[in-house]
Amino acid sequence: MDQLPLLIAATLASGTPLALAGLGLLINEKAGVLNLGAEGMMLVAAIAGFAAAFTTGSDTLAFVAGAAAGGLLAAAFGALVIWLNTNQYATGLAVSLFGYGFSAFVGVGYVGQKLSERTPFEIPGLSQIPFIGPALFRHHPMVYIAIALIAAAVWFLYRSRAGLVLRAVGESPESAHALGYKVRWIRLMAVVAGGALCGVAGAFLSVVYAPLWVEGLVAGRGWIALALTTFATWRPVRVLLGAYLFGGVTMAQFALQGAGVNFSSQLLAMLPYIATIVVLAIISRNPTWIRINMPASLGKPFHPGT
């Protein structure tokens, strides 16, 4: 039983990058843009964040660097799909492939370097409570920031005027355009914000979670985050819960190995990916439900005046 609080803590830590990236993709999709480049954005941000943390020693700078790298790549992606009307699937895929190659190229000198283990931030008082303290209140600040960001997103999307405009652009760009909103600029802002969040997630992986750099460090989490938006039927709070669920699945393999279960580690490593497929299939099963919840113009380009 002493293992359980640590397992819960590890679940929250491993769910955090999924929650951040999932939230970023949710914002993209609410504005009508499907971003298959998330994996690439996270990879480039992961190496940018790692390099920043390695040279300056500052976590804050690492997250800024990660957000900037993710946002920059997202801006390029946005310019292509929003202004040049390129195919969103192909372009996102291209960004992911580019991000993989580019991060590997930039990261050559950092392979094998290790950052020191991050000291968790202990919330005074609460972290001393037995069981609950070590499980919930001894984490890197970003774990709490992620939760705060989800709460902020709920307020932004459903309680603020700007959020209403963002959703309108994703549901019916023609109507939003007719009302005088600059659909393409709003979409670009959403894409850049989403990319920056993917960037923070990438930096969290390389700086806090790993903390090291290897080629392909993100290991498909960008794609899992993409699946998360569907699981969550495009609701921020469900993105957070889904992220922790997958964090738990990732941790379950280590827990099983630790408990001495005699099972191949390679087969256990398949678990998060298989879980993603299974949950995706179950959630997507009812096409009407998906159609009701999905932003109506998701993945469709908008070109004013045509």
Asked if 15 contacts 248 with a C-beta cutoff of 8 angstroms, the reply is yes
Q: Is residue 104 at the binding interface for other proteins, with CB under 8 A as the rule? A: yes
State the nearest-atom distance from the C-beta of 225 to other proteins, in Å: 11
State the nearest-atom distance from the C-beta of 214 to other proteins, in Å: 12
150 closest CA partner among 82, 229, 58: 229
Among 6, 75, 93, 147, binds other proteins (CB under 8 A): 93
Q: Is residue 261 at the binding interface for other proteins, with CB under 8 A as the rule? A: no
188's enclosing H/E stretch is helix 183-203
Asked if 48 contacts 68 with a C-beta cutoff of 8 angstroms, the reply is yes
Instruction: Show the binding pattern over residues 287-306: x = contacts other proteins (CB under 8 A), - = does not.
Output: x--x------------x--x
Q: Is residue 270 at the binding interface for other proteins, with CB under 8 A as the rule? A: yes
As given in the structure block, the two tokens for residue 154 are: 């709920």
65 contacts: CB under 8 Å, gap ≥ 6: 45, 48, 49, 51, 52, 203
Residue given tokens 């392909």 in the structure block: 216
95 closest CA partner among 199, 190, 17, 211: 199
Q: Is residue 76 at the binding interface for other proteins, with CB under 8 A as the rule? A: yes
Which of 186, 227 has the CB closer to other proteins? 227
Looking at the DSSP assignment, which residues form a beta bridge with residue 177? none
185 SS3 class = helix
Instruction: Show the binding pattern over residues 163-202: x = contacts other proteins (CB under 8 A), - = does not.
Output: ----------------------------------------
Could you tell me which stretch among 58-66, 131-139, 140-148, 221-229 binds other proteins (CB under 8 A)?
221-229
Q: By rule CB under 8 A, what count of residues binds other proteins? A: 52
Contact positions with other proteins (CB under 8 A) in 36-55: 36, 40
Among 61, 100, 118, 210, binds other proteins (CB under 8 A): 100
As given in the structure block, the two tokens for residue 89 are: 């699937």
Which of 75, 165 has the CB closer to other proteins? 75
Among 165, 245, 280, 294, binds other proteins (CB under 8 A): 280
Q: Is residue 215 at the binding interface for other proteins, with CB under 8 A as the rule? A: yes
State the nearest-atom distance from the C-beta of 47 to other proteins, in Å: 11
Distances in whole angstroms, Cα of residue 137 to Cα of each of 104, 141, 174, 281: 35, 10, 47, 35
Asked if 110 contacts 50 with a C-beta cutoff of 8 angstroms, the reply is yes
CA atoms within 13 A on the CB side of 253: 17
Asked if 251 contacts 269 with a C-beta cutoff of 8 angstroms, the reply is no
Could you tell me which stretch among 10-18, 19-27, 62-70, 226-234 binds other proteins (CB under 8 A)?
226-234
112 phi/psi in degrees, rounded to 5: 90, -15
63 class by beta-carbon count within 10 Å (0-12 exposed, 13-18 middle, 19+ buried): buried
Which of 179, 267 has the CB closer to other proteins? 267
Which of 100, 156 has the CB closer to other proteins? 100
304 SS3 class = coil
Q: Is residue 282 at the binding interface for other proteins, with CB under 8 A as the rule? A: yes
Looking at the DSSP assignment, which residues form a beta bridge with residue 212? 114
Residues that bind other proteins (CB under 8 A): 36, 40, 76, 80, 83-87, 89-91, 93-95, 97-102, 104-105, 107-108, 215, 219-220, 223-224, 226-227, 230, 264, 266-267, 269-270, 273-274, 276-277, 280-282, 284-287, 290, 303, 306
